[in-house]
Amino acid sequence: MTPELDRTRPVWRQVAAAIAARIADGEYPVGARVPSVVELSSEFGIAASTAQKALAHLKAEGLIRAEVGLGSFVAEQPTTPPDQTEA
């Protein structure tokens, strides 16, 4: 089943949000492999470049980490949000 995407908003953001929601819901726990570019392209019916952009965004946000030749995995989440510093 292909998830419905709103074609009036950036598709890569919607895909990134869907993966982030899966991480938050525990569907992809810390250390779990997230779908590859090819898998996301197939699941969402999107171009590989769109899937790559979504994964790059998640990596920049610190939600996933990439390991060359192995794939992308859910990163450990900090206990304190990065914008809050210890006093």
pTM of the full structure = 0.83
Q: Note the pLDDT of residue 6.
A: 85
> pLDDT tens digit string along 39-66?
999 999 999 999 999 999 999 999 999 9
Mean pLDDT of the chain: 89
Contacts 24+ apart (CB under 8 A), 17-23: 18/44, 19/54, 19/55, 19/58, 19/63, 19/64, 20/58, 20/61, 20/63, 23/63, 23/64, 23/74
Per-residue pLDDT band for 2 (boundaries 50, 70, 90) equals low
